[in-house]
Structure formats: structure tokens, C-alpha cells
């Protein structure tokens, strides 16, 4: 770091003009200007004077960045300041309580209890609403993600409880300081000034006493203003807690911002992919406008979150203009998209379809397992003929096991790219085609009724088995918990016996 840069920084940090700095150093303004522009260098006695005035040594001033020097000095003293301020806070609290009457102490305690209970109720309601809304543990158990995920959820809940406790204590202490401790300092100052009057009262004439009283009363008013000034009444202890809370909030906001970063990247990728459907006309235009609106809104959110994290003010006018533009684009895009969709045709037939046939004899318990709709066609035959019409890039598998005909299909790996091309071509031709295989069942009317009834029974049986399995798992869990309780009871008995 150059001497000229350090001089500029020192002058600006101390709110000095070149002329004011020159006056302190006993030189002309032009001399200071030349030092800062590196046209000349100050003499050694002036360098020493600068070091003395602003508390630097020569090496720091000539070779180091004074901003980093100040930060290092401040960081060394921060911990001691926090500790000293903490004990000063306790001392002031004890002094205040000891000077209060019993009625004042009870009033103070009652107010703090009300504030504490209110904060606890607010945090409990927020935590309960979020947990109940998500029902995380129940969902995780149903999905079967295991105990690890449940432990993570419980850890997050514990972190929320710790965070709520820290915030609650900080708010409670801040209210106590503003409501009582700062007021006590003013009263204390007033009493000390009245003591000065009483001590000097006997040594003054009546006229001097009145003048001094007026003088002290005026100073007292000024002193009240100074004490009420937040810069003078700031508590390092409380401000440290508030800074910690703020950093915790910023840390959580950073995680939220990461999600919006991925959303922003996804929207940009989606915008690029949308040009594959440029032939759709209005649908393409509406889609592009909607995606651009989403990108703009995402950008605004990211900017606001970033500015909050780095403690920078957001430009409200700029944000408002971008939001208005994005909302207009979103509305135009939605309208344009649905207007363009009126030009599309739905085609139920599958182009270049293939057919897979399966013949089977009818039985009383026979049913067909297929997640999509099945079309039954009445014939004179008592046997069952199953036809599956499907795209050529799908492999269809029909099997019979335990009186259940199972119909499944998967996409051929080598034809995935062709499938994507077909879908893109259909959309560009303004066609929405059915790509899901259709199952046709040919048999007699009586068999059709039996197959439908058996399918319903099979579904109910499947659901019943799922419920029975869940009940079995819950019973097993209950047995394990009961065993754990018995083990704990035995441990308690063993401890009592040893004592």
C-alpha cells in the first residue's frame, strides 16, 4: 500500500478536507494535494507528526494498508470489549435493582415475564405451524427413507429451537435495557448533579446558587440527549448477540439463495430449449415471454437476497420497474400461450404403432393389472385376447402369474433420442398425440363383467395387504419401544440397587 493511498484513507476516515489536514500538520493545502497525488513526499518530521496524530507507526503508514491495520487493532480489542461490557451490563443491572423500591422491582419483573411469555408463544406457534404443515416425520416414514432422514429433520428442529432461544433472550435483554437500564443511567446522572448543588450550596451566594443551578439544569438537558443517543447508549454485549443472530439469518438466507441460483440456471436452460418449438408460433412466443418473466423475477429475488447478505441497500425503483415488467410479460405470455393452444389438435392414435398380442383362457379369479385405462370389446369368444397398441420405441411385456395378467412397458434405450424427436416434431406440427400404450381386451360380455369385478377385488386386496404390512411394521416398532422401556426400567433398578 502506498503512502499516498494511506493519506487519502486517513483523511477521509477522519472527515478531514485537504485544507484541514494541512492546518493540523502546519503545511499548505497544495502540499497535502501533492502528497496524495505522489508528486512529492512529506518530510520525516511531518511523517512522525501524522503517526502521532492518528496513532500509527512509520512502517504501518509507509508500507501497510491502514484499513487492514485498523481492522486488526479492532479485532484484538473486540473480545475484551465484549467481556468488559458484559460485566458492566451486570453491574448496572445490580445497581439499578438495588436502588429500586419493591414495587418498581415487581413491575420490572412482571414486564419481563410478559415479554418472555409473548416471545415464547410466538416462536412456539411458528415452529408448530411449520412442522404440522410439512408433517415431515410422517411423510418420511410413509416413503420409507429411513431413520437417517428423520434424525436430520429432528436436528433441524433442534437448531430452530436454539435459534429461537437466542433471539428471544436477545430481544428480552434489549427491551430490558431500553425500558429500564438506559432510564436508570439518566436518573443516576441527575442525582449526581443534584449532589454537586447541595455540596456547594453553603459556599455560594444566593445569586451564584441560582446561576449554577440554571447552568447545571441546562447541562442536564444536554446530558439526557447524549445518553439517549444510540451511539452512546449502545451495548457491545447486546450488539454482539444481535450481530450473531444477523449472521445466522444471513447464513439461512444464503441457503435459500442457492436454491434460486439453481432455479435461475434452469430457467435459462429452459429458455434455450424452448427454441426447439419455434414453429408453434403463438405457443412459442407465450412460452418465451413466461420464461423471461420468471428469469426477471428470479433475478430480482437473487439481487435482494445478495444485497441483504452483504448489507447493501437495494435500489427500490429498479426492483419495482423489473417486477412490473416481469408481471406484464407473465400475463401476456400466459394469454398468448393459451390462445396459441387453440390451434393444436389432439390425436388419440399412435403413429407407426406396433401391436403385441396375448391369448389366455378365462378363469373365475382372472384379472388384468394395468395402471392406465383398459378398453373392453365384446365378442362371441369365451377366451380372452389382449392387444396392446404401442409406439415402436416401447417394449411391452405381458405375463400371467397367480391369476393376474400383468402388462408392463419400458422405453428402448436405443430409441430414446428418436422418441424425443417425434415428440418435438408433433408439437411443431401443432399436434398432441397419445404416446401411452392402449390395452384392448376381446372376450364375451360375461367375461368382461368378471374381469372388471376381479380387477376391483385385486386392487382392494392389494391395498389391504399394504395396510396390513404397515400395521405389522408399527406393531414391530411398538414391541421394540416396549423392550427399550423395559431395559431402561431394569437399568434404573440396577442403579438403585448399587446405591
Q: How many CA atoms lie within 13 A of 252 on its CB side?
A: 9
pLDDT at position 350, please? 74
Q: Look at the chain and count its residues.
A: 499
Q: Whole-angstrom Cα distance, residue 110 to residue 119?
A: 14
Q: Whole-angstrom Cα distance, residue 54 to residue 68?
A: 15
Other CB atoms within 10 A of residue 215 CB: 10
| pTM as predicted | 0.47
Q: Whole-angstrom Cα distance, residue 85 to residue 79?
A: 10
Q: For residue 393, which phi and psi values (nearest 5 degrees)?
A: -90, 10
Which three cell numbers, joined as nine digits, stand for 92? 448496572
- Hey, where are the domains in the chain? 3-73, 100-234, 239-343, 350-464
Three-state DSSP at 234 gives: coil
C-alpha separations of 111 from 117, 242, 435 in Å: 10, 21, 69
Cβ(383)–Cβ(362) below 8 Å: yes
Q: Where are the alpha helices (DSSP H) in 55-135?
A: 58-63, 66-99, 102-134
pLDDT at position 285, please? 92
Q: Whole-angstrom Cα distance, residue 330 to residue 288?
A: 10
CA–chain centroid gap for 138, Å, is 23
Query: What do you get for the CA distance between the two ends of the chain, in Å?
Result: 71
Q: Whole-angstrom Cα distance, residue 472 to residue 476?
A: 6
pLDDT at position 197, please? 41
Block residue for cell numbers 494541512: 22
Residue segments in the chain with a per-residue pLDDT below the cut of 70: 1-2, 61, 63-83, 130-153, 182-242, 413-415, 499
Give the residue among 300, 309, 173 at the shortest CA–CA distance from 248. Answer: 309
pLDDT at position 232, please? 41
Residues 139-157 pLDDT 10s: 544 444 455 666 666 777 7
pLDDT at position 178, please? 74
Residues 79-124 pLDDT 10s: 566 667 777 778 878 877 887 777 777 888 888 888 888 888 888 8
Q: Whole-angstrom Cα distance, residue 175 to residue 310?
A: 27
Residues 364-400 pLDDT 10s: 888 888 877 788 999 988 888 999 888 877 888 888 8
C-alpha separations of 327 from 108, 207, 259, 296 in Å: 51, 75, 22, 9
Fold (topology level) of 3-73: 434 Repressor (Amino-terminal Domain) (1.10.260)
Amino acid at each position: 500500500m502506498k503512502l499516498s493511498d494511506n493519506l487519502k484513507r486517513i483523511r477521509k476516515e477522519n472527515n478531514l478536507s485537504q485544507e484541514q489536514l494541512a492546518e493540523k500538520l502546519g503545511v499548505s493545502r497544495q502540499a497535502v494535494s501533492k502528497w496524495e497525488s505522489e508528486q512529492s513526499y512529506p518530510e520525516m518530521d511531518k511523517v512522525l507528526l501524522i503517526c502521532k496524530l492518528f496513532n500509527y507507526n512509520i512502517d504501518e503508514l509507509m508500507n501497510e494498508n491502514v484499513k487492514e491495520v485498523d481492522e486488526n487493532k479492532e479485532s484484538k480489542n473486540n473480545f475484551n470489549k465484549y467481556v468488559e461490557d458484559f460485566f458492566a451490563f451486570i453491574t448496572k443491572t445490580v445497581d439499578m435493582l438495588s436502588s429500586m423500591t419493591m414495587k418498581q422491582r415487581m413491575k420490572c419483573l412482571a414486564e419481563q415475564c410478559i415479554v418472555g411469555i409473548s416471545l415464547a408463544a410466538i416462536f412456539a406457534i411458528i415452529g408448530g405451524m411449520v412442522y404440522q404443515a410439512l408433517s415431515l416425520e410422517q411423510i418420511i416414514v410413509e416413503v420409507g427413507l429411513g431413520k437417517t432422514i428423520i434424525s436430520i429433520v429432528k436436528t433441524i428442529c433442534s437448531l430452530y429451537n436454539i435459534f429461537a432461544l437466542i433471539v428471544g433472550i436477545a430481544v428480552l435483554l434489549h427491551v430490558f435495557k431500553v425500558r429500564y437500564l438506559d432510564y436508570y443511567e439518566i436518573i443516576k446522572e441527575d442525582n449526581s448533579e443534584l449532589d454537586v448543588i447541595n455540596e456547594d450550596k453553603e459556599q455560594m451566594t444566593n445569586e451564584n446558587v441560582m446561576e449554577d443551578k440554571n447552568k447545571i439544569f441546562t447541562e442536564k438537558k444536554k446530558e439526557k440527549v447524549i445518553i439517549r443517543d444510540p451511539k452512546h447508549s449502545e451495548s457491545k454485549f447486546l450488539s454482539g448477540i444481535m450481530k450473531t443472530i444477523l449472521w445466522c439469518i444471513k447464513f439461512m438466507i444464503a441457503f435459500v439463495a442457492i436454491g434460486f441460483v439453481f432455479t435461475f440456471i434452469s430457467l435459462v436452460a429452459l429458455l434455450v430449449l424452448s427454441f426447439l418449438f419455434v414453429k408453434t408460433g403463438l405457443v412459442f412466443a407465450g412460452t418465451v415471454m413466461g420464461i423471461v418473466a420468471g428469469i426477471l423475477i428470479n433475478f430480482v429475488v437473487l439481487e435482494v437476497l445478495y444485497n441483504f447478505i452483504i448489507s447493501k441497500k437495494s435500489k427500490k425503483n429498479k426492483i419495482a420497474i423489473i417486477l412490473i415488467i416481469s408481471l406484464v410479460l407473465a400475463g401476456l405470455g400466459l394469454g398468448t400461450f393459451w390462445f396459441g393452444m387453440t390451434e393444436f389438435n389432439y390425436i388419440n392414435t399412435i403413429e407407426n404403432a406396433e401391436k403385441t398380442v396375448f391369448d389366455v383362457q378365462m378363469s373365475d379369479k382372472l384379472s388384468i393389472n394395468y395402471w392406465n385405462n383398459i378398453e373392453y370389446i365384446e365378442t362371441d369368444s369365451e377366451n380372452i385376447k389382449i392387444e396392446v397398441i404401442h409406439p415402436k420405441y416401447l417394449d411391452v411385456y405381458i405375463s400371467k402369474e397367480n391369476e393376474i395378467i400383468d402388462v408392463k412397458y419400458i422405453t428402448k434405450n436405443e430409441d430414446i433420442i428418436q422418441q424425443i424427436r417425434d415428440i418435438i416434431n408433433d408439437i411443431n406440427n401443432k399436434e398432441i398425440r397419445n404416446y401411452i400404450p392402449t390395452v384392448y381386451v376381446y372376450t364375451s360380455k360375461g367375461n368382461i363383467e368378471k374381469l372388471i369385478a376381479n380387477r376391483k377385488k385385486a386392487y382392494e386386496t392389494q391395498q389391504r395387504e399394504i395396510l396390513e404390512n404397515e400395521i405389522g411394521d408399527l406393531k414391530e416398532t411398538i414391541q421394540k419401544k416396549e423392550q427399550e422401556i423395559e431395559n431402561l426400567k431394569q437399568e434404573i433398578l440396577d442403579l438403585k440397587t448399587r446405591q
